[in-house]
Amino acid sequence: MKTLIRLLTLVVGSALIFPIASFAAQFDAPYYEFQKKHGAEWAKEDKAIDAKLAALEKKFGKKPNIVYILVDDIGHGELGVQGGGASRGAPTPQLDRMAHEGVMLNGFYSEPSCTPTRTALMTGRHPVRTGLTDVIFPGNPAGLHPEEITLGELLSEAGYTTAMFGKWHLGEGEETWPHNQGFDEALFGLYNAAPWAWNTKGDKNFWNNEKTPEFFTRYKLNGLMEAKKGEKAREVAPLNLKTYTTVEEETFKRSVDFIKRNAESEKPFFLYYASHFVSMFTSHPDWAGKSAQGTHSGDQFMEHDHYVGQLLKTIKDLGIAENTLVVWMSDNGPMYDFFPESSSSAYTGGKGDVLEGGVHVPAIAWWPGMIEPNRISAELLQVTDMYTTAARLGGAMSKLPNDRVIDGIEQSSYLMAVTPSRREYIFHYSGANLGAIRVGQYKRHLAAAHGGLPGKDFYDIYKDPKEEHGVMAEMLWAWVPFDDFARMHNELIEKFPHRKPYKSVIEE
C-alpha cells in the first residue's frame, strides 16, 4: 500500500506539465511524473544499455534483429512453465525451453481483443487514439489509418529489412495492408478464422450456414494474400477450411526463409510473425489429434510450439542469436465462445474483457547473451511497450512522432539489465471507453456509481488476481488519486484528440 501511496502522490494535484525528455516523442501524462521520480536512475540505466548495444553493433556490424511472434487467443497459464502444457493435455516443450533460456514475462498485458492489440503493437498507441477500436469482420470499412506510423515504417526508415507473415486483421482496404504500411514483404490473412469457417467455396461448411441469405454473404472475402512493398497484392490461396489447415505451416516457412535470406545482410531485419493460431477451426493433418485438448488450444498450439522451436533453432544455427531479440506474446485471453475448444486462463474473464483473463496474457523474451536466462518477472509491461522498445533497439527513438501520444514505454533496460520495469500504470480500454486503471498492484474498474457512492471496484491484483473480492471502504483513500490519473490522461486527450475512425477503400 505504501508503494501505491508514493506513486499516486506524484500526480495528485499536479499541473499538466511535460518536461523536455531526451527525445521529442510525446508520451502519456503520468509517464512524466514517474520520470521526475526516476529520471536520474533511468539515465544511468540508459548509459549502460547504450554501451552494451554499441558493443553489440561493433561485433555484428549492424543494429540487432527483432522478431515479434504474436499468437491468437492464448490465456495466461497455458504454457507448461505456467502450470499448463502437458498437465492440460497439450505439451509446450519449445516455448518452455524459450522461457528457460530467456525471461518469462508474467506481468505482460495486451488489449482485450485481436484487432486492438495488433493496432497497439503496430503503433505503440492505445487503439482508441487511432480510431480503430473494434474487431474487424468482413464488410466493415474500418482500417488502420494511413497516417499512423507502424513498426514496419519506423524500422524501415531506420534501415531495417521488414516482413510480416500471418494474421494482419487491420483492415480490408489495400491501403491498410502490411505492404502499404511499411513492410517490404508480406504473406497475410485479413481476418480472424471465422470467414474461413463459413466461406466454403465447395467445401463442407464448419457451421450450418448453407442457407444463409445472400445479403449476409455478399462481401468480397480475400484468402491468403501475398505482396511486396510498392506492388499490388495477389491472392495465393482461397479462403476455406481445407486451405486453412496449412496456413500456419506456410507462415512458419516464410518466416524461416526470411531469416535465412537476411541473416548475413548488412541490414538488420524486423520480422512480425503473427500466428493464425489458436482461433482456427481445423488442424493440420500432421497434428490433428495430437493433444488431449482438441483442435484449438491443443493440436494447433502444439503445432505452433513446434514451429517456434524450429525458428529459434534456425537463429542459433545461423550464428545470429546474440544479435536477435525474439518476443513471443498472446494478443488477448481465451475466446470462450469456442468452449470447449478454446484456450483457458488462470484468471477471471476472457477475450473482450478488461478483467485479468482478457488482458493478462503469457509472453516470453529471448535473446541469448543479452537477456539473463532462467528469469521470471511479474513487472508490468503492456503491448504498446514493444513498439517503443523496438524503436530504441533499432536506433529510431528520434523518429518517433511528436504530434500524437505514444503510450508505449521503452523497456530495453528492463529486458537486458534486470532493472525494474518503467511501467507503473496501465490504462485498460474496453473499445472506445476507459474500462479500468492499474497503478502498482491495485486496479480500479470504472463501473457506474451506486446512488452517488462508488461501487466495490478496487482490487489488489497480487492478493486477488481473479478479481473476485472488490472493495470500496478500505480503498477510499485511493479514489481521488485514481480520478486524478484519469484526469491527467483525459486532459492530454484534449490536447491530442483521438483520430476519427478511418474508412478504408474496399474494392467490390
| Residues taking part in catalysis | 114, 169
Residue at 415: amino acid letter: L
Residue where the block lists cell 516457412: 253
| One-character DSSP codes across 312-354 | HHHHHHTT-GGGEEEEEEESSS--GGGTTSS---SSS--TT-S
CB neighbours of residue 12 within 10 Å: 14
CA 449 centroid distance within chain: 32
- Edge to edge, the sheet with strand 458-460 lists 425-430, 433-439, 442-445, 458-460
Residue at 114: amino acid letter: C
| One-character DSSP codes across 53-113 | HHHHHHHHSSPPEEEEEEESSPPTT-SGGGT-GGGGT---HHHHHHHHHSEEETTEE--SS
CA atoms of 149 and 370, how far apart (whole Å) = 28
Packing angle between helix 114-123 and helix 385-393, nearest 10 degrees? 30
What does the DSSP 8-state code read for residue 420? P
Q: Where are the alpha helices (H) located in 143-246, listed in sequence order?
A: 151-157, 194-198, 241-244
* Cell (9 digits) for 296: 484449438
CA atoms of 390 and 410, how far apart (whole Å) = 8
Q: Are 206 and 181 in contact (CB under 8 A)?
A: no
Contacts of 313 (CB under 8 A, 6+ apart): none
CA atoms of 291 and 144, how far apart (whole Å) = 37
Q: Are 388 and 395 in contact (CB under 8 A)?
A: no
CA atoms of 223 and 243, how far apart (whole Å) = 9
CA atoms of 80 and 83, how far apart (whole Å) = 5
What are the angstrom distances between the C-alpha of 129 and each of 80, 141, 233? 36, 18, 28
487 SS3 class = helix
Residue where the block lists cell 496456413: 247
Closest CA to 75 of 338, 308, 325, 311: 338
Main-chain dihedrals φ then ψ at residue 308, nearest 5 degrees = -60, -45
